[in-house]
Structure formats: C-alpha cells, structure tokens
Structure 1
Amino acid sequence: MTDADGARARSYEELALASRRYNAAYVLFNQAIADHLGLHPTDVQALSLLTAEPGPLTVKQLAVLTGLTTGSATRLVDRLERGGYVTRTPDASDRRRVLVAPVPARLARVTAVWDELGRDWEALLDEHTEAELEVITRHLRRAYDLSHVQMARLRSLPRPD
C-alpha cells in the first residue's frame, strides 16, 4: 500500500465516522422536530418531500419517495389527512387515481419551525465557497439517488435471522 493509498483509506474512515455521526444526529434532530410538532418522524419527512415536489403526488409516488410500502404510505397519508396537513383529490386526468397535496395553511406551523432552525443551517453553509457548496450539493443529490437504490436492494434481501 502506498502512502497515497493509506491517506485515502484514512480519509474514507474519517468520512465514514463523520457520516455515521451526522446521520444519527439528523435522525435524532428529525425526531425532535416531530416531537415538537406532535407528529411521527416519517410524517415530517413525507411533508418535506411533498413540499419539495412541483405538484401533488399519488400515494404510490409518495411510497417510492419515502421508501415505504404502498400500505405504509397509505397509513401515513391517512394520519396527515386527519391532522389537516394534506388533502386527497381525484386526479382530473385519471379518475381512478387520487392525488395527495399539502395544505399550505396547516403547513405554516411546520414551516415556521424549519425557517427558524434554517437560519443556523444557513450560517453554517455561509462558511463555504460557491465551489464547495456545489460539491456538497452534488454529493447530496448522488447520495439521495444511491439511498433509494440501497433501500430497494435491502427490501429484496431476506431478513437475517
């Protein structure tokens, strides 16, 4: 192993450790937001994904985005609808399909929490150059895509005993 190989291996180890800590912190952060709002953590993420899309989604599309089964996604939408966070409406182009859309007025309470917390995240990102922000953004987009591939792979494997 060359010095460069050793340095690269150490960088991977450091990145893996930082990534594990970040992912755990984000899951716990998401739980804290959910607790604060009286929601389930998956509901918070589903609302985030719904508001990141250009229009309403079907339950199946939401299932794909969240990595949930369609049955679990249906129960998630049921909870969000009961809480007034989303509405279901028939798809005008295909009456057999139902579209799920966020309710802006109800999302205002979630957005208010995100906006307040977001100022600190922006300050953290202000420490980076535009080029660094591009690298971070590219990495996060690729990690998002890979996570969906990995979720599908995990679902296709038998559960360990």
Structure 2
Amino acid sequence: MPQKSPVRRSALLAELSTESRRYMAAYALFNQAVADHLRIHPTDLQCLNLLSLEAEPVTTGRIAELTGLTTGSATRLVDRLERAGYVTRERDTADRRRVLVATVPERMAEFGAVWGRLSRDWAAMFEAYDDDEVALLIAHMRRTVELGAGQIARLRSGEFDAAQGGA
C-alpha cells in the first residue's frame, strides 16, 4: 500500500467534503425536478423507487422501514400515492388483518419510462469507468446506504441532540 502524504490526504478529504455536499445537493434538486415532473412529492418519488425494488406488496410498516419515516408519516405517504393512482391497498389473503400496499402496474410503467429515459445518460457516464472503478462505486453506494440508515435512526431517536447537549 502506498505511503499517504498527510498534506495531500488532508487536501483530498477537504475536497471530498466539498464535493460530497455538492453531490447531495445536486441529487436532492434532481429528485425534486423528477418529482415535480411527475407531480408528486419528492419523498413519494423515492418511496415508489423503493417499492419498485420489492418483490411483493408490502405493509405500511415496511414502507416506514424502507423510508425511515414514522408509521404515521408512512401512512400519509401511502394516502398520497393512492390518491395519485400509484398504489392500492389490499387485504393480505394469508392474514386478513394485514393490509398490503401494492403498486399499480400501469402507473409504475409510466414511472419506469421516465427513469428509463433519464438513466441513459447515467449509464453513458458510467461507461467511462473500468470494472474496478464501478465495483468501488457500488461498494461506496452500499456503505452510504448503510451509514445513511444509521444516521436517520440517530436523528429520529434524538441521540444526535442528546450527544450535542440538546443543541
């Protein structure tokens, strides 16, 4: 492993911090623009994205887990998606007490078509990377998802405020 220069490392970490902030802001603004295009809330957009990755209909509790929202907020999110025609609620045939949230295939096809058109440019950008770089990006994204979920939990639990002396 090459020797790290403390000065270069410090400069790189400072640049990484700056670019990370730009990256997160750019993604949030991109997410807002896609949501505006679809006439839905940005959180609803990401919920649809997550639901499209699920193999089966899920409970509202599962949606809360996926999004990091409280169950009350997840219920309101499902209400909005249902009004917009993206999901339906249906009784679980195995347990009639449970209600499952299912996506509406036609609406998800519309949703997928928008992402499909947008993803072409992303795919072209990734073509510039070799396999090792793509693997690094995948590892980074997975670690970011895990870290983000932990940070969401800390923020929601109040741990962050307690650690800061309530500030």
Please state how far the C-alpha of 1:3 moved relative to its aligned partner. Answer: 6.4
The RMSD of aligned alpha carbons is 1.6
Structure 2 unaligned spans of 5+? none
Equivalent residues, number: 160
Q: What secondary structure is seen at the aligned counterpart in 1 of 2:97?
A: strand
Higher strand content, 1 or 2: 1
Question: Kindly, what percent of the aligned residue pairs are identical?
Answer: 54
**Match of 1:124?**
125
Please state how far the C-alpha of 1:19 moved relative to its aligned partner. Answer: 1.0
Q: Which amino acid aligns with 1:80?
A: L
Q: Within 5 A, what are the aligned runs for 1:136-155?
A: 136-155=137-156
Please state how far the C-alpha of 1:66 moved relative to its aligned partner. Answer: 0.7
TM-score (norm 2): 0.89
Deviations along 1:78-122, one digit per CA (max 9) or x if unpaired, are: 111111101111223322221112111012222121111110000
**Match of 2:108?**
107
Q: What secondary structure is seen at the aligned counterpart in 1 of 2:40?
A: coil
Q: Which amino acid aligns with 1:71?
A: G
2:67, 2:42 → 1: CA distance?
Answer: 12
Q: What secondary structure is seen at the aligned counterpart in 2 of 1:88?
A: strand
1:125, 1:70 → 2: CA distance?
Answer: 36
Q: Which amino acid aligns with 1:87?
A: T
1:61, 1:14 → 2: CA distance?
Answer: 37
TM-score (norm 1): 0.93
1:92, 1:8 → 2: CA distance?
Answer: 57
2:4, 2:105 → 1: CA distance?
Answer: 55
Q: What secondary structure is seen at the aligned counterpart in 2 of 1:89?
A: strand
1:73, 1:5 → 2: CA distance?
Answer: 46
**Match of 1:52?**
53
Q: What secondary structure is seen at the aligned counterpart in 2 of 1:101?
A: strand
1:93, 1:139 → 2: CA distance?
Answer: 39
1:3, 1:89 → 2: CA distance?
Answer: 57
1:6, 1:96 → 2: CA distance?
Answer: 61
Please state how far the C-alpha of 1:6 moved relative to its aligned partner. Answer: 2.4
